[in-house]
Amino acid sequence: MKGVGSLSAAVLPALLARAPLTPEKVSFFWGLAVGAPMARATRVELHGHTLRVRADTDAWRREVERSATLILARVQQLLGAGTVRELEVEPPTA
């Protein structure tokens, strides 16, 4: 038996695919792609086809950088391959 989490991961992208690409939609799918702890520790903005990620700390920045290939693949699966082509990790603000 599959859990509700796997159902939402399969159904939500299909339901929201036609919705406008808003900052809230990008943040929502970011949270699905990376999980709640990383989503709470980062902020994302879509600039063209580049998703800019700013982490709250250097430790979270390193974690995003280490996982960037996997994260990008997940984001592309959720938002569509043509929507995000690059992941750019920025240092925390002072």
The residue ranges of every structural domain in the chain are 4-90
What are the percentages of helix, strand and coil residues in the chain, rounded to 5? 55, 20, 30
Q: Is residue 75 within 8 Å of 51, Cβ to Cβ? A: yes
Compute the distance between CA of residue 19 and CA of residue 62 in angstroms, rounded to an integer.
32
> pLDDT tens, 54-85?
999 999 999 999 999 999 999 998 888 789 99
Compute the distance between CA of residue 84 and CA of residue 54 in angstroms, rounded to an integer.
16
pTM for the full predicted model: 0.81
Q: What angle do CA 21, 22, 26 make, to 5 degrees?
A: 80
User: The domain 4-90 is classified under which CATH number: 3.40.50.1370, 3.40.50.280, 3.30.300.180, 3.60.15.10?
Assistant: 3.30.300.180
